[in-house]
Chain A
Amino acid sequence: MSFKPVLLWSDALILLLLAVVAAGVWLLRHNETFRAPLRQVLASRMGSATALILAVYVGIGLLDSLHYVERLPDEPGKAAQYSGEVKSALDKLLSPLRENVEKTYSAPFATHLYAKETMTGPDGREVRDYPRLKHGGAHLADPDQEFWPDVLKRGGLGVLGGMVCWTLLILPLWQRGRTHSALAWTLLCILVVTGLLVALAPHYHVLGTDKVGQDVLYLSLKSVRTGLLIGTLTTLVVLPLAIGLGIAAGYFGGRVDDVIQYLYTTLNSIPGVLLIAAAVLVVQVQIEAHPELFDTAAARADMRLLALCGILGLTGWTGLARLLRAETLKLRELEFVQAARAFGVSRMRILARHLLPNVMHLVLITVVIDFSGLVLAEAVLSYVGVGVDPAMISFGNMINGARLELAREPVVWWQLVAAFLFMFVLVLAANLFADQVRDALDPKARGRA
């Protein structure tokens, strides 16, 4: 084997999360109270379109979660050696983008570098000019003449390819009447953009390059996983705390309620960012103090990311817990719970059969709504310096690295715009999807927002 799979902790947790979701779907596959809202979300125009966009993001994130290390060329007489650099399936897929590194900044579709350099001309004299890029548009002999025809030709082919794929995909669905226009249009957009990128990205830096010459498109795609992880893994911490404590406080009341309320008032009273910052600082110090625990830089960054998710979860469960407590207080007095008590049904059974299923819609709604907030929070926290590891590719780090360059002349805008754009599409899709989920699960809320 020329490679060895590597399972980072975050990869393992993603697998766990996937398994939990899959198990949940499997268990509830015949449950009408679960299927009906799901069908409603996927049948709505907004719901299906945003679900598709989110699926693309999730796909990118999952590809980026299949990690491996490459095997180094064998040396005779030695055991197999592996590279210290952890790569993912996405890296492999994007290897032209990953490897086409320039010297420094270059604008989108540029053929020349952003900064002038002193070069030796063909006549042996030294001139200061913008040098050609090593990779971007390097196949063009005379960029001034050939650039537009080349871009149009390749772009046209890409669009065509995208449309062909779309037709192949959509026709069978359409024939069976299984789809509607919003979904079809979204798919068309996605496929055309993908086609364009596939056709152009290997030959040009479609979104430019950053300070050390890395392709910005590559960075943006790699950031997706970080954003998704923060948005989803945090819920792994939030859910048990919020559900357990919230329902317990509401159902048992009395002392239990007092203690849990005290806990969340105390946590709430600390300004959120400060608490997160303090905790992250502590984790950072711990990681720095024990470098021996992490064999690769990726493992270290991964641990810091998980710690961040953990901290966001530990500080973020209070809102949902409070909501569940209030709802449980209401449900506890409802007659079907009273009827169960009249049967002498045990408390644990009442919690499991009567209360938990009847608050699950609130849990789901909150999880979906919080997701977008967490993606946005990553950027801010990374800016403040308490986010993910500075070496990790993330939206926050991209923005952080680029914002000072706005002062340059001409402006280096592409890195910022790329990061904001990728994040905006993800968060917008998540927000709109969350609205649909809320409408489907909580009919009372429909039309309100």
Chain B
Amino acid sequence: MNGLSVENLRVEIAGAGDRRFLPVDGVDFTVGADQCVALLGESGCGKSMTALALMRLLPEGGRVTAGEVNLQGDDLFALAESAMGGVRGGRLAMIFQEPQTSLNPVMSVAEQIGEALAAHRGLAGAVARAEAGRLLEAVGLQTDRLDAYPFQLSGGQRQRALIAMMLAGEPEVLIADEPTTALDVTVQAQILDLLKDLRSTRGMGLLLITHDLDVAREMTLGPNDRVAVMYAGQIVEWAPSAGLYAAPRHPYTQKLFAVLPRLDRRGERLDSLPGKVPAPDAVFAGCRFAERCPAVFQRCRVEIPGFHEVVPGHFARCHLAEAAANPSLSPYGGFGKGEIEGIPGRVEVVAAANPTQTPISPNGGVTKEGSEPSVLEISDLAVHFPIRKGLLKRTVGHVKAVDGVSLAVAAGETLALVGESGCGKTTLARAVLRLIEPSSGTVRLCGESLAGLKGEALRRKRAQMQIVFQDPFSSLNPRMRVGDILEEGMAALLPELDRIGRAHRAADLLDQVGLPTDAAGRYPHEFSGGQRQRIAIARALAVNPKLLILDEPTSALDVSVQAQILNLLADLRREHGLAYLFISHNLSVVGYLADRVAVMREGRILECGSAEQIFNRPAIDYTRLLLDSAPGQV
């Protein structure tokens, strides 16, 4: 056949001791020429391992234990390693997630493309250079970038250069492993467009690996394209994107849709997916999703479900799908009427916001702009970092990370700060907290200026604002127990509490953020990313702040965990009347949570208004560009 076909692929990884992990456990799919298949799943589902297995690039300790991969009739696993070298980067190529680290830092772009040209097409010298130039143009880069080194390129340019390298061998199928995850939304849109163009102009198959439902949808709009949803090492659903996005058939896929935050779900509680992905060495008697499935019944736990064709071309690995496929067989009277509790049978996907909807304030009332006293008032705040040069290291200029920002957050209000990487939003947050000294401007917290505050006065003020960081792994000290982490802030800022009082409060906080009380005696490494983020939130709440600065609090989390954290944030806002300064690059999260939105670029605020206004009637082009770049809009 044409393209790539994968049959019953199994990958095993040797763990510590005699443990064996099966990250990929029986995966079948095909990628035809000029077809895009999106392999969709949350972290740890085995999608990247699948791709690496196809390339025969599994990490050390990993091996393929079963399965067959055919590329235009050639069995890839039967090839000698030397012959595989000719396929790899030639007929089958792959691009990676991290453009930052995926290029060799000490070789120029031309050299790195030249290597692939030499290996697969025997080109060298001026011919190779000319061809490398053509490839660069094909991916939308100027030929003068040939002699650039990776550090001289931006993230998007690097990803383009990587694609050019992989096109050098004129691949029949290109595997793209999260190609845009590390990129800003506007750059992401460009790269996705580029991949679409290349696929149609070169007639190559594309296997896109992603965790992002919108990206998967954006790339599989064609009639031949397919989306494969992976869970715990298996494909649980396989369908054309139109069918899948209109009516997901597997409860896991349905849950994935239901947990997505969107502007139109403002004020609603997001659905949640309890539990976590089974460990890769788990042994299953029945369905792999049974433990978390809202529709689970007896049969799921004892019998492995088959891969049933619910409607033509749409498969799901679920006992209920069998019933749907053959209604006569089912004792449960069919599937798809939406009567499974908590899951709408059909998910309405509304891309644009409903313009008539009124933004809901945390208290349930309508936000009255300007009438409430501001918790935080920032005026003309600037943070400049000096650039030093020359013999005496004199300051020759400044990097204006934050360049005259004025913002106000009212009590109980959520203000979202939106911008692409490097726009200064994180620096702004740290300057507000006085973790960095601002160069100029003032920050007023509850009416009192922070400038010039020192010692005890500053300490007291710190209790009124706290921060939650993006990375749940580096934000908790690995050598401290959770209880001590929670009590640290209390000890510093709430001197009236004694040791017992602090322990009580810590237990109370753990309860509030939905963690068991015995968590206090454990260390952070025993918790998952989402649980760690809960701990970080509890730590911030420990000192009764009025304002929480949330710096991309859900960016490092899977969508199902993200929903839990967003729900928690919404609950806390309601219970404590907290104000949030919510920093994010993710527009759908912002649309879900924020009352007002400020758009930031190059250290300045370009636009600030109610969420409804920014999303529906953006005043400036940049905001419009951001909104239009978001993938998955049909």
Residues of A within 8 A of B (CB): 32-33, 334-336, 338-346, 349, 353-354, 357-358
Contacts and interface: CB of A to CB of B under 8 A. Distances in A.
Interface stretch (B362-370, B485-493, B561-569): B485-493
B475 A344 contact: no
Contacts of B474: 334-336
B467 A339 contact: yes
A344 B467 contact: no
Contact of B492 (A334, A345, A358): A345
Given A33-B479, A358-B479, A340 B488 contact: yes
Nearest to A334: B474
Contact of A342 (B433, B479, B523): B433
Contacts of B458: 344
Contacts of A338: 430, 435, 467, 469
B471 interface: yes
Contact of B475 (A339, A345, A349, A358): A339
Contacts, number: 62
Interface in B467-508: 467, 469-471, 474-480, 488-489, 492-493
Contact of B462 (A342, A346, A349): A342
B477 A336 contact: yes
A339 B542 CA distance: 12
20 contacts: A32-B523, A335-B469, A336-B474, A338-B435, A338-B469, A339-B467, A339-B469, A339-B475, A339-B536, A341-B435, A343-B493, A344-B458, A344-B459, A344-B462, A345-B488, A345-B489, A357-B477, A357-B479, A358-B478, A358-B479
Contacts of A354: 477, 480
Contacts of B433: 342
B623 interface: no
B394 to A, nearest CB: 17
Given A342-B467, A343-B466, A344-B462, 20 more contacts: A32-B523, A33-B479, A33-B523, A334-B474, A335-B470, A336-B476, A336-B477, A338-B435, A338-B467, A339-B467, A339-B536, A339-B540, A340-B488, A343-B492, A343-B543, A344-B458, A344-B493, A346-B492, A349-B492, A353-B477
A342 B435 contact: yes
A288 B403 CA distance: 69
Interface residues of B, number: 28
A349 B458 CA distance: 17
Contacts of B601: none
B478 A33 contact: yes
Contacts of B47: none
B573 interface: no
Contacts of A32: 523
Interface in B158-201: none
Shortest 8 CB-CB distances between A and B: which pairs? A335-B475, A357-B479, A344-B459, A343-B489, A335-B469, A336-B477, A344-B462, A343-B492
Contacts of B469: 335, 338-339
Nearest to A446: B16
Nearest to B61: A447
A343 B488 contact: yes
Contacts of A345: 488-489, 492
B539 interface: yes
Contacts of A346: 492
Interface string B329-360: 00000000000000000000000000000000
B339 to A, nearest CB: 45
Nearest to B433: A342
B489 to A, nearest CB: 4
Contacts of A342: 433, 435, 462, 465-467
A307 B540 CA distance: 51
Contacts of B471: 335
A344 B459 CA distance: 5
A192 B471 CA distance: 56
Contacts of B540: 339
A354 B488 CA distance: 11
Contact of B480 (A334, A344, A353): A353
A343 B540 CA distance: 9
B475 A336 contact: yes
A33 B522 CA distance: 11
B445 to A, nearest CB: 13
Contacts of B536: 339
A339 B492 CA distance: 12
A358 B476 CA distance: 12
Contacts of B467: 338-339, 342
Interface centre among A339, A340, A349, A353 (most CB of B within 10 A): A339
Contacts of B459: 344
Nearest to B543: A343
Interface in B93-127: none
A68 B254 CA distance: 81
Contacts of A357: 477, 479-480
Contacts of B477: 336, 340, 353-354, 357-358
B99 to A, nearest CB: 23
Interface string B12-37: 00000000000000000000000000
